[in-house]
Amino acid sequence: MDEKQRQLEWRDYWEVVTRRRWVLAGALFACALAATVGADLWPVRYRSEALVLVERQDVPKEYVQPNVTTGARERLASIRQQVLSRTRLESLIDRYGLYPKKAGHLDRYKLVGEMRKDIRVVPVDTAGGRSLTAFRIEYTYDSPRLAQQVAGDLTSEFINESLQARTEASVATTSFLEAQLAEAQKEMSDQQARLANFNARNLGELPGEQQGNVQILTSLESQLYAESNALDRAEQQQVYLQSLASAYRRAARQAATDAPGAHGGATPLGVIDKTIAGLEARLAALQAKYTANYPDVVRVRAQLDEWQAMRRKAVAAKQPAPTTQAGSTAVGASLAADDSEGPNLAEVQSRLKATGAEIAYHKGQITQLRGRIAGTETRLRLTPLRAQQLADLTRDYQNARDNYQSLLQKKLQSALATNLEKREEGERLRVIEPPSLPQQPVSPNRLEIILAGWAAGLTAGIGLVAAEEMTDQTLRATCDFHEALPCPLLARLPVLRSPAEERRRKWMRIGEIAGMVILALASAGLAIYVSLAA
């Protein structure tokens, strides 16, 4: 095979490592030593942890519904912002004298920022990740005792702030519902007053009174019909009595002027007969059309009975005139006429007065009835309008009442929930793992730092060896001669050493190996010591 095309083998790499062993070892052990010293000098920090459980309320939600609807995760984020506020962290820094080395060259704002970096709030989710069941509060500091104390204060502030926040939110909800309830009660009272005033103003026109108004109207119309009939009968009676009185007066005047024995003129008995004949003819005509109980038939029959009774009375009262003397006969006739017609005329006039009073009474009743009928009809006409107005007012009142009832129930539920929060029986935080006193530091991880130093030293050594090999112009292999010289290589002469040089070379190698081993053991021991040191 042509030497110019020879590939490097492991022996070539071993020769390079052997030749540059001190460069590789120097870089390796220097970086390892620096990493070990750096890990030993790195500031130690301890972490104290507390586990806080989010407990649900003891009373089932079926009995008392909570009025704080914010989820535990959202509430935890809000509480974290409050607990980690600048004023509270500054109070903790002053109380425990934290970060004394940084206080000299950092302002208060940056110190608070440093403390925020050292505080972690880690939620502990359930398997499904839907709800927050617990969370961890972690604080990292140079002193394990101070880390524990500060973590304890932070845990207490988280618990107190959570309880106060839930209580304040619950009280605020209850206060809001109380204010809304007062407004709803006022609105309901106003609507109730409007409804009562409407009912009072429109009494008799309301839909519930329509049937009663109809019955009242029917009754009034019946009364009006009866009063009209009574008025007609009274007026007919008045006409009849007036004609009877006129007949009595004419009969009296005629009796006073008649001569003795002359009876050819009209007499009251003749007037009565004519009247009876007219009533009988009228009664016959009415009976041909109506039944015997028809009002006009009954009225005419009553009048006919009265005239017939009057005729019998007139016939019984009529006496024959004496014939001895003419003057005495005329006077006797006049007296007889006065005796027979006087009481009848007085009775008729008395009955006329009574009939006039009856007519006036019936007219007054008819006027009142017509007025009441008009009022009732007006109320009936207004009933549909009042029904619509009443429906609007009733709907407004019902809506206000429903709103009041709804707010009342919500307010009572919210008051129960607030009482539950004040008694610390609602959702709350409970410490199940108090802040721990750390025994081992969480930083630095010395083993990782040392291993990283060894890895960095090895990488640096290999880089230095590669750099020296690339810059070294020494010809060591045959291929190097072929690349450097255009002429062919005639011979190769090996290195010749004396026995003393060989022995010295051997002991130097043994010393180098021993030094390497001792340095490696020392470095490893120091690394183990530093990594295990507290």
Tell me the pLDDT tens digit for each residue of 16-58: 777 777 777 778 778 878 877 777 677 778 889 999 888 776 6
Tell me the pLDDT tens digit for each residue of 434-476: 888 888 877 777 777 778 887 888 888 788 878 877 776 666 6
Gyration radius (Cα) of the chain, Å? 68
* Residue 123 identity: P
Copy the structure tokens of residue 257: 């002027």
Asked if 356 and 290 touch (Cβ cutoff 8 Å), the reply is no
> Rounded to whole angstroms, how far apart are CA atoms 271 and 244?
9
- For the segment 92-98, the average pLDDT, to the nearest whole number, is 88
Tell me the pLDDT tens digit for each residue of 194-214: 989 988 888 888 888 888 888
Q: What is the 3-state secondary structure (H, E, C) of 506-518?
A: HHHHHHHHHHHHH
Tokens 């030993």 sit on residue = 40
Look at residue 150 in the predicted model and tell me its pLDDT. Answer: 92
- With pLDDT > 90 as the criterion, what percentage of the chain qualifies? 8
- For the segment 265-287, the average pLDDT, to the nearest whole number, is 72
> Rounded to whole angstroms, how far apart are CA atoms 460 and 34?
13
pLDDT at 258 over 60: no
Query: Quick count: other Cβ atoms within 10 Å of Cβ 334?
Result: 16
Tokens 């009494």 sit on residue = 203
Point out which residues pair with 51 in neighbouring strands. Answer: 136, 433
Please tell me the chain's helix, strand, coil percentages from 3-state DSSP, rounded to the nearest 5: 75, 5, 20
Look at residue 340 in the predicted model and tell me its pLDDT. Answer: 43
Residues 6+ apart with CB under 8 A from 385: none
Q: How far is residue 380 from each of residues 6, 209, 385, 452, measured CA to CA in Å?
A: 127, 9, 10, 105
> Rounded to whole angstroms, how far apart are CA atoms 421 and 68?
10
Higher pLDDT, 468 or 262: 468
- CA nearest neighbour of 422 among 167, 162, 169: 167
What does the DSSP 8-state code read for residue 496?
Answer: -
Tell me the pLDDT tens digit for each residue of 473-519: 666 666 666 666 677 766 666 767 778 877 887 887 787 778 778 87
Cα 15 to the chain's mean position, in Å?
87
Helix/strand/coil for 119: strand
> Rounded to whole angstroms, how far apart are CA atoms 383 and 152?
78
Q: Is 499 exposed, middle or buried (0-12, 13-18, 19+ CB in 10 A)?
A: exposed
pTM of the complete model:
0.50
> Rounded to whole angstroms, how far apart are CA atoms 159 and 63?
26
Q: 245-283 in b/e burial notation, b at 16+ Cβ within 10 A?
A: bebbebbbebbeebebeeeeeebbeebbeebbeebeeeb
Higher pLDDT, 127 or 491: 491
pLDDT band at 356 (very low <50, low <70, confident <90, very high): confident
Look at residue 483 in the predicted model and tell me its pLDDT. Answer: 67
